[in-house]
Structure 1
Amino acid sequence: MAVATRPLDTPEAGKPRARGRLQLLLILFVVLGPMILATSMYKLQFWVPEGRSYHGAMIGNGQGRADIGIDAQESRWQLLVSAPQACAQDCQQLVYLARQIQIGLGRDASRASHALAAAQPLTADYLALLGREYPQLQRYPLDAARYRAKVAEPGPQLWIVDPHGNLVLRYDAKVNGKQVLDDLRHLLKLSNIG
């Protein structure tokens, strides 16, 4: 019994090979295409979304508390009020807001703390109020020269600081507390630390 064989140089013999090459190219495109597109978007800054999901000024340069003149250790997230001058009305309002935001975290309140870093000594009346009304408030000295060298904005500021001491977000004295609470809740949800 004779079996009919086709010569290898016929057009039908090259079809499986061409199909295999096409499949290989498609697989490479599916795997490498998104990486090339994402790298191009990052390097060339096109199709970058304009919107953002946070309300404060993001500190994305790796600065920590020590860089702005605050030497402190805290292993939780922190709402830190900085006062480069005397802690006047705006500063006192931010201290109050920081405590209210921590309370507003509900079951996550133990993951955060609130603190005040002041460059000048606090008045006796305000110290008495802090001792009475804010027993968990941490207080730190603020090196005004280092602070002014790193922070251009005058007046008191509210900072969200991560458990490693990195500055994450900054808000001025006119901040809406609900926005800070939303930002901090979002950070706590995404974070496995603190």
Structure 2
Amino acid sequence: MQPAIDMSETPPARRGRLPLVLMLVMVIGPMVLATAMYQWRFWVPQERTYHGVLIGNGQSRADLGIEGVADVGWQLLVTAPDGCRGECRQLVYLARQLNIGLGREASRASHALATAGPLDADYEAQLRREYPQLGIHSLDLQRYARSVTPTHEAQLWIVDPLGNLVLRYDSSTPGKAILQDLRLLLKLSRIG
């Protein structure tokens, strides 16, 4: 006569399957969920942490029509396709104030102006006197028009140390918002 088999004990192979299945679900589950969220756009946050227009297409200063600028760290660049008057002058002043507002991080950033035409002689003399660190560059209108819409307004750009455009602001953006964005970029950046 054969001894009776006790069915109350679980075979060792079955006991090992549950932890294996749980580990697979914990590893593969988040990847499947993230892929589904991306594919079908659900549970995607609508808010953002920056205040300008994000430039995420790999554009550089050269694409705007600004040539010959050495990579000098982070840059606050003001573009003025119609000459530098009114809003442009406010943005040039704001770029300098933002650079000063960085405090001990100010050496990581610079400010510059790119304009399509020559500056008014009085204003250029004022810039040389009051803004000695300001870089002044020429702007190629044809290349600028292909890259930027609208093309006639003065705009402020944040450019990374590699020359890539990161964020764009118009003259109505508050300076504190731009400074907040710039500080965050400098904090997160490992370059420049």
Common fold: TM-score over 0.5: yes
Equivalences, count: 189
Partner of 1:135: 132
Partners of 1:43 and 1:111 lie apart in 2 by: 38
Residue deviations 1:116-160 (CA, integer Å, cap 9, x gap): 000011010011000100000011110011101110123100000
Q: Which of 183, 189, 192 pairs up with 2:190? A: 192
Residue deviations 1:61-90 (CA, integer Å, cap 9, x gap): 111111111112223000000011111111
Q: Which runs of 5+ in 1 are unaligned?
A: none
Partner of 1:162: 160
Q: What is the TM-score of this pair, normalised by structure 1?
A: 0.92
Runs of 4+ in structure 1 off by over 3 angstroms are 9-15
Partners of 1:50 and 1:15 lie apart in 2 by: 50
Partners of 1:18 and 1:34 lie apart in 2 by: 25
Would you say the 8 A contact 2:55–2:168 is kept in 1? yes
How far 1:36 moved relative to its partner? 1.3
The residue identity in structure 2 corresponding to 1:82 is T
Q: Which of 25, 35, 39 pairs up with 1:39? A: 35
Partner of 1:82: 79
Q: What is the TM-score of this pair, normalised by structure 2?
A: 0.93
Q: In the alignment, is residue 26 of structure 1 matched against residue 28 of structure 2?
A: no
SS of residue matched to 2:15: helix
How far 1:30 moved relative to its partner? 0.5
Q: Which of 101, 104, 118 pairs up with 1:104? A: 101
SS of residue matched to 2:156: strand
Higher-Rg structure is 1
Q: Which runs of 5+ in 2 are unaligned?
A: none
Partner of 1:175: 173
Partners of 1:100 and 1:49 lie apart in 2 by: 33
Kindly report which structure 2 residues correspond to 1:40-59, keeping only aligned pairs within 5 A, or say none. Answer: 40-59=36-55
The residue identity in structure 2 corresponding to 1:92 is R
Partners of 1:98 and 1:6 lie apart in 2 by: 90
SS of residue matched to 2:13: helix
Residue deviations 1:37-84 (CA, integer Å, cap 9, x gap): 112211221110011110000001111111111112223000000011
Identity of aligned residues (%): 60
Partners of 2:71 and 2:102 lie apart in 1 by: 18
The verdict on how the C-alpha distance between 1:6 and 1:53 changes in structure 2, with shifts beyond 3 A counting, is farther
